[in-house]
Structure 1
């Protein structure tokens, strides 16, 4: 079955189920190389009216990882937690991403990624197999974490396609 972005978890997981969790979170160098190639002027570019700027996309990817990692932390401790979505447009609209430099946004994303890797390194196999619900899908913590990278891959593909960025 082929999933679409509006399908949420299954779509994002399908974009990242090709590698181990450690490999997925550690292989972000190509993402950061691409992001570091964006200058300030390009950071404010939006490919159509009412679409996010590149800065807003970077901020959104970072926000997404922060939210999902907090939920993953709670699930790893066997707390009951809802793993489904959030209002991404509200979060972007109420952030000040466009007032920040592209470098600040990339640094924040990098710091969040380092914290995510640090957290993942503390998890046992037993914790990675804890199950939770993402809407109607019962998933393991490991699969939930993989979907974070799938989300990143989704947005990086959009940056490359719609914002005309090159590796």
Structure 2
């Protein structure tokens, strides 16, 4: 399935801004390609930019990379639970609290990118394990209906969203 074929009934309206970033991509291919593109992009950012904040209270690039890692873990957990037909509504999370409780700025760039690559490889393995039926299963996360496959596409689009922010506000 291509991202353009994902029905809007399979994700929250607030995720539409992310999903719209995707061009006509397939889930499994783009999970792999987008990781490589992101790592290559980040490795070309000047070193003095990783601890930069474009405004008071905004996250650094290192903190955003940690945010992407944390969010992907949460999204994958949601996808796994919904794929297993768990009907328990899954709560939202407060992203600012998560970032405030990391040591991302004390980490070196390579450790962050290595962790991101490992998390993505785990996400890919998880999504490869899903049957077509499991990918279309619906659950509730953050008080909104969502399908397993929409979670996968949102993972990719969320990363692209932050890469776009890097380009617009940090570089």
Q: TM-score range by the shorter chain?
A: 0.7 to 0.9
- The SS at the match of 2:24 is coil
Q: How many residues align?
A: 158
Unaligned ranges ≥5, structure 1: 1-6
**Cα deviation per residue 1:79-102 (whole Å; 9 max; x = unaligned)?**
124356310000000111001111
Equivalence for 2:99: 92
- The SS at the match of 2:145 is strand
Over the aligned positions, Cα root-mean-square deviation in angstroms equals: 1.8
Return the offset for 1:23.
Answer: 1.9
Unaligned ranges ≥5, structure 2: 1-12
User: Contact (CA 8 Å) 1:127, 1:141: kept in 2 or not?
Assistant: yes
Matched, 1:47 2:54: yes
User: Contact (CA 8 Å) 1:82, 1:133: kept in 2 or not?
Assistant: yes
Return the offset for 1:136.
Answer: 5.8
Matched, 1:123 2:130: yes
Return the offset for 1:49.
Answer: 1.3
Match of 2:33 among 10, 27, 35: 27
TM-score (norm 2): 0.84
1:1-167, aligned counterparts within 5 Å? 8-16=14-22, 18-28=24-34, 29-83=36-90, 85-135=92-142, 137-164=144-171
How far apart, in 2, do the equivalents of 1:79 and 1:115 lie? 20
Return the offset for 1:154.
Answer: 0.7
User: Contact (CA 8 Å) 1:132, 1:138: kept in 2 or not?
Assistant: yes
